[in-house]
Structure 1
């Protein structure tokens, strides 16, 4: 919230009207301060959909059945490749999350920790004073709350009590969690040549008749001339004149 207020003040210095218009939008839909910490993300984007769309971009140009077959084959292979890559990892966390945690460990050396209890601390970092609660897994900066990855303030507090920061990372980033996500598999299927030929005719779905008397007359246009079928009234008709000769 402090970052939000500072950013809003800077925006008001540039243009007050723009800042007031900005407040009228539903900020909970696109501003980090209003995100739900249970989601474990700090961004509101459509990157996942766009990535998957690019993943199947070639399949989308084909017929519906062949498109679905390409998507099935791609996902079938992806599950195996991801599972094999994860099984090679010997760390507790995934490599990408471990690298982010290492970056926070380096910044933690610049933090000054003052304990209030075994789980509650004051942390001074770059002229800021923040509160870290190891029991509720929260920090004033909300980075740990949002991502589930300890920030530098939390890492410094964890080192103060003589524990390892990896133990305070959210379970969703653990190697075992990744393996459970990719544990399933999509079974292979035979090609068209080896499939059973079914002689059962395919009929169209039954026509469902709705309740009430069926409509006989069509819905007329609001500007349609009631006296002359198929013609409009002169209301809202744009009139043009030919250039003078």
Structure 2
């Protein structure tokens, strides 16, 4: 919240009207300062849904049965590939999570730790003083609470006790948990040539095709830069 309020003050210094309009957009619905820490993510976009949408974009143009078959085959293979890739990992954490933790370890060297109790610490970092609670796994910066990955302040406190930060990462990021998620499999099925013949017609209802070429790509903002994904142009903006 301190970062949010500080950023809002800087925003108001640039343009008061824009800052007031921003508040009317209900920032508690999309700003990280208001996210529920129980979710263990800091994502504020729908990128994960768009990624899967792009994953099946070719299958979506096909007939219903063939679309489902393409999706089934792609997911069947994906389950095996993901499981095999994770089985090669040697750490107790998933590789990407381990990389994020290593980045926090590097910043932890700049933290100054003052113990208050075996589980409570004051940490000074970049002229800021924060409180770390190892029992509740929380920090004033809320990064540990939100992600489940110890922040640099928590890592410094953990090192002060002579323990390993990997043991304080949320269980959802463990390699064993990942393998349990992908432990199942999608069974293979025979092709259409081997299907039993039905005695009753089971054709789908007729499809009414609208005029024009079917849309495949995402509908973009009118001012979005077509050459740079996710960036807006200044043309026509006030």
Give the TM-score taking structure 2 as reference length: 0.83
Moved over 6 A (4+): none
Question: Which deviates more, 117-126 or 26-35?
Answer: 26-35
Equivalent residue, structure 1, for 2:76: 76
Q: CA deviation at 1:200?
A: 2.8
| CA–CA distance in structure 1, aligned partners of residues 200 and 40 of structure 2 | 50
- Unaligned 5+ segments in structure 1 are 206-245
- Distance verdict in 2 for CA 1:24–1:191, change over 3 Å: same
1:188 is matched with which residue?
Answer: 188
Counterpart position of 1:55:
55
TM-superposition CA deviations, 1:112-134 (whole Å, max 9, x none): 00000000000001111000000
Q: Which residue matches 1:107?
A: 107
Residue 148 of structure 2 is aligned to residue 148 of structure 1: yes
Q: Does 1:137 align with 2:137?
A: yes
Larger radius of gyration: 1
Give me the whole-angstrom Cα distance separating, in 2, the residues matched to 1:100 and 1:201: 56
Q: Secondary structure at the match of 1:146?
A: helix
How many equivalent pairs are there?
205
Residue 217 of structure 1: aligned partner: none
* 1:135-175 deviation digits (Å, cap 9, x = unpaired): 11000111100100001100000000111000000000000
Shift of the 114–150 alpha-carbon distance from structure 1 to 2, 3 Å rule, reads same
Q: CA RMSD in A?
A: 1.4
- Shift in alpha-carbon separation, 1:202–1:58, aligned structure 2, 3 A: closer
Shift of 1:203: 9.3
Cα deviations by residue, 1:13-63 (Å, 9 ceiling, x for unpaired): 111111112112222210111100011111211111110011111111211
Counterparts in 2 of 1:204 and 1:187: CA distance versus 1, 3 Å: closer
Task: Show CA shifts across 1:167-188 (max 9, x none).
Answer: 0000000001100110111111
Q: In the TM superposition, what whole-angstrom CA distance separates every residue of 1:70-115 from its partner, at most 9, and x where no partner exists? A: 0000000000111111111121000110011111111111110000
